[in-house]
Amino acid sequence: MKSSSKLFQRAQLHIPGGVNSPVRAFRAVHSTPRFIAKGKGAHVWDVEGNRYLDFVMSWGPLILGHADPQVVQAVTRQVRNGTSYGAPTEGEIRLAELIKSAFPSIDKVRLVSSGTEAIMSAVRLARGVTRRKKIIKCDGCYHGHVDSLLIQAGSGLATFGVPNSGGVPEELAELTISIPYNDAQALEGVLKKYGGDAACFLLEPIPANMGVILPKLGYLKEIRSLTKRYGVLLIFDEVISGFRAALGGAQELYGVQADLTCLGKVLGGGLPIGAFGGRGEIMDHLAPKGKVYQAGTLSGNPLATAAGIATLTRLRNRGFYRLLESKSDRLYSLWGSAIRKDSLRVTLNRVGSCFTIFFTPQAVTDYASAQRSDVKRYGRFFRRLLASGIYPAPSQFEANFVSAAHQRDDLEKAGEVILKVLRTV
């Protein structure tokens, strides 16, 4: 009989660390990764046949749940006609039209194969348009494994980057400036000093890669005003929040429009895809029309666009987000009242169908406050939930997701189990 532990031992002989993305290794929670055999609706089954209520949902893309019938049908229909052509298809246009209808800040959009590729391309475009070199980002915001963005911030108002990964030259990292999230004054200070050299301010408007953190009231509008004043392009990394926080992402939710927007995750309905888009005069700098080069053999892949069209079409149905929000709110209200009543030493951060339970009683508003979390307690929390048939994010500093496939009864039962475990750890 197959087992996750045996498969993990075998994988480590052939794959670095036994996984193809580091967080899958479960090291942060001192456990062995579960090798998944199948998923359906809100559940996954491992190779040993154990069933879990899934809150990872492939790290966010599966807003409709696993193996959604309409997405499966769309992909099956397309695969019979071929998997890739290296030539334009009508599906690319249809998906671009759906993206534009959701994001008024996007006049034109370019499809790519991942969120990381979208970010990398948007930064290059910003540099090409502005003819400036420096990038400003926020501490703790992860934008994919792009060399210029894998930097660790220092203390103080802002610090030039120090590489946070082997293989990243210090000379390249020095072009990135990292500042605290939710601190408009920090951005203003950097812009006063380096604004003439800064191509863009790259931001997750709703960070989800240090755990879910919400923007303070007025923060996004302040940074929008500041970047306009200094001629710095504002890039919103909505790879996670796009189509998740709302159909139009954080920009719809908070009424702030970026110059460039990066998308992924939900956009592909579970298949690899990414996109970046913005105002026409900016996007027209891309080749073949302009001088900023970007290309990809599998960009606009027919299977991914088919899954994306099927997904976004469903999301446009009236009442979709209202129903998803009501399911999520029921769960959050259960936890919130118990956290207050029992004085549990945790903080619940949530927006829409995304949430993180931080193992700290103090408010979490940025990277520094997130780092106060007790990761050992989270590890015990994770392992006990997994043993109870609930699959949360295998890291304190990640988001969890509710999908349309989660049933109210399942969520209420899971909510009670999670509260019971919270009280014991």
Q: How far is CA 330 from CA 79, 244, 411, in A?
A: 39, 18, 8
Alpha carbon of residue 187 to chain centroid = 23
Dihedral angle, C-alpha 331, 332, 335, 337, nearest 10 °: -120
Smallest Cα–Cα separation from 358: which of 331, 339, 386, 338? 339
Among 237, 321, 367, 378, the active-site one is 237
Sheet of 347-351: strand order equals 347-351, 354-358, 400-401
Told to judge if 139 belongs to the known catalytic residues of this protein, a careful annotator would answer no
The enclosing H or E element of 312 equals helix 302-315
Among 108, 64, 82, 101, which residue's Cα sits nearest to residue 298?
82
Q: Which of 265, 321, 327, 391 is catalytic?
A: 265
The residue count of the chain comes to: 425
Residue of 52, 68, 142, 366 marked active site: 142
Beta strands 134-138 and 176-179: pairing type? parallel
Closest CA to 28 of 368, 417, 421, 393: 393
Active site residue 265: yes
Distances 74 to 22, 31, 37, 269 between C-alpha atoms, Å: 31, 37, 22, 11
DSSP state of 200: E
For residues 101 and 198, give the distance between their C-alpha atoms in angstroms, rounded to a whole number.
30
Residue 259 is a catalytic residue: no
Q: Element (H or E) spanning 416, and its range?
A: helix 408-424
Distance of CA 38 to the CA centre of its chain: 23
H helix intervals, 131-204: 170-173, 184-194
Instruction: Report the alpha-carbon distance of residue 242 to residue 281 in Å, rounded.
Output: 23
Report CA Rg, the chain: 21
Q: What backbone torsions phi and psi does residue 278 show, to the nearest 5 degrees? A: 180, -160
**d(Cα 143, Cα 224) in Å, to the nearest integer?**
19
Which residues carry out catalysis?
142, 237, 265
